[in-house]
Amino acid sequence: MAEPEWKGRVDRLDEVTIVQTRLMVRLEQKYDEAIQRHDDAVKKHDEEIADLRDAMVSLNAAQAKTNAAVEMTSENLEKLRSVVGDGISELRATQVNLMKTFDQFIRGKEGNGRKP
């Protein structure tokens, strides 16, 4: 009876070995799939980082252009203020001269041919 018991144990051991082998194969497949998913995620992450880096470069270039446009606008505004300020000063001087001339005209000292 020892031999059938021994043979039963060997058969059982063979069955366990087959089950363990199948489990190991499935575990290796799942491990390979997990590694592949991880590699895909890392690749996607690297692509997203590259896209973000490109967007940041574009944003910095746009900001530089905006800063240049603001600086140019500021310079043009200062020139405009200077021209308008000069024009207002000239207008005031002309107005003062006109008032003097008008005052002299009213008093008869200029332009009407009458003498006081």
Other C-beta atoms closer than 10 Å to the C-beta of 109 total 13
Give the total residue count for the chain: 116
Gyration radius of the chain over CA positions: 48
Any idea where the domains of the chain sit in the sequence? 1-77
- For the entire predicted model, the pTM comes to 0.52
112 confidence band (pLDDT: 50, 70, 90): low
**Is 110's pLDDT higher than 90?**
no
The pLDDT of 105-115, averaged and rounded, is 66
d(CA 47, CA 59): 18
Asked if residue 108 lies in contact with residue 115, where contact means CB atoms within 8 angstroms, the answer is yes
73 confidence band (pLDDT: 50, 70, 90): very high
- Quote the tokens at residue 68: 């240049």
Q: Report which of 47, 3, 92, 33 is spatially closest to residue 84, judged by C-alpha positions.
A: 92
